[in-house]
Amino acid sequence: MSEKIRAGVVTGKEYEKLVAACKDGGYALAAVNVTSSSTVNAVLEAAARNNSDVIIQVSNGGAGFFGGPAYPDSLRGKILGAVSLARHIHLMAEGYGVCVVLHTDHANRGLLPWIDGLLEEGRKFREETGKPLYTSHMIDLSEEPLEENIGTCAEYLDKMAALDMSLEIELGVTGGEEDGVGSEHTGADNPKLYTQPEDVAYAYEKLNPLGHFSVAASFGNVHGVYKPGNVKLRPVILKDSQELMSERYNLPEKSLDLVFHGGSGSSEAEISEAVSYGVFKMNVDTDLQYAYSEPVGTYVNANQNAFIAQIDPETGKPLKNKYDPRKWVRQAELGMGVKLDEIFSVLNSKGKSLAEK
């Protein structure tokens, strides 16, 4: 049985214990992109209900939305938005009784100033509390030559390790686009969508001496949901990478900590196979955006008068109890929770929280 961890945001060695428990236990954590306190609370509620640990992450655009699109300084607003979101989670997560990994999603080279700002804010938070603000950050330079990608990632991992943080990198390209960051590459035959095991070995040699890192290795992944035939996942690439690492560096099996991007729309069989090869984290965004939004449309359709007038034009009665945002936003949260119930089950993380009770 895996060692228990205090509920709340996990970082450093506790994060590494959580990752190891996932791989040993044959399950993965859902990584959910959030944009508001409402989406954060929906994730925490569902994780607690399922007794499942979870990864809550935010993109640069999501952080900007959390901070307010009208903030005068766009970069500073996105930094402060990510800080505000993280502090909300630090305050609330422990009370929900599950372990939460705090992570930032795709940051290409143009977004590195955002990461720089968050590292500075993380340094101040660590001085204040004794732990980093975020568990990990992702740097996605997968469109660049391998040496440039890993060279920059090494510089940042050195900084993050000093703050007791981890780094997520991407090798190979995840097709499609997510929140302004991504690739035009799609199609089942595009070689850029498939990471080469030798590239993984190169990254290991450069990064392993510096600190803890995880790898988003592409095996045909594409952000979003596409028509059948457009995406062909090849999880065996992950197996080949793990075997190469074991043979070349005399490491235990499944020693790499692997991440599955573009999980929305994947079949249960594809997900299970990827998890069996050492995937501990699967990003799910598109499906959850729809799950959050669809109930709002249903609610509005069922209460149309409340969204055209404050007084019901048919009955003359006030409609405040219908258009109150707490009513329809709550429907969105519940819809997101239902989808998360399904995701936790598919990832086999339900009932496996390491949080001390």
What percentage of the chain exceeds 70 in pLDDT?
A: 89
Residue 228, pLDDT score:
43
Kindly state whether residue 263 falls inside one of the protein's structural domains: yes
Q: Is the per-residue pLDDT at 180 higher than 70?
A: no
Residue 265, pLDDT score:
63
Q: Which amino acid is residue 290, in one-letter code? A: Y
Residue 190, pLDDT score:
42
Kindly state whether residue 234 falls inside one of the protein's structural domains: yes
Counting the structural domains of the chain, the total is 1
Kindly state whether residue 303 falls inside one of the protein's structural domains: no
Residue 156, pLDDT score:
98
Residues 152 and 159 sit within 8 Å (Cβ to Cβ): no
Residue 218, pLDDT score:
80
Residue 167, pLDDT score:
98
Q: Which amino acid is residue 297, in one-letter code? A: G
Region 76-101: mean pLDDT is: 98
Query: How far is Cα 198 from Cα 75, in angstroms, rounded to an integer?
Result: 36
Which CATH number fits the domain that encloses residue 214? 3.20.20.70
Kindly state whether residue 153 falls inside one of the protein's structural domains: yes
Kindly state whether residue 166 falls inside one of the protein's structural domains: yes
Kindly state whether residue 44 falls inside one of the protein's structural domains: yes
Per-residue b/e over 337-349, b at no fewer than 16 CB within 10 Å?
bebbeebbebbbb
Please give the residue range of the domain that contains residue 190. Answer: 8-287
Q: pLDDT tier at 217 (50, 70, 90 boundaries)?
A: confident
Query: How far is Cα 302 from Cα 318, in angstroms, rounded to an integer?
Result: 16
Q: Where are the alpha helices (H) located in the chain, listed in sequence order? A: 12-25, 37-50, 60-67, 74-96, 112-129, 146-162, 197-207, 236-249, 268-276, 286-302, 320-323, 325-346
Kindly state whether residue 345 falls inside one of the protein's structural domains: no
Tens of pLDDT, residues 31-68: 999 999 999 999 999 999 999 999 999 999 999 999 99
What single DSSP character describes residue 143?
Answer: T
Residue 187, pLDDT score:
40
Kindly state whether residue 196 falls inside one of the protein's structural domains: yes
Tens of pLDDT, residues 199-213: 999 999 999 999 999
Q: Is 257 exposed, middle or buried (0-12, 13-18, 19+ CB in 10 A)?
A: buried
Catalytic positions: 105
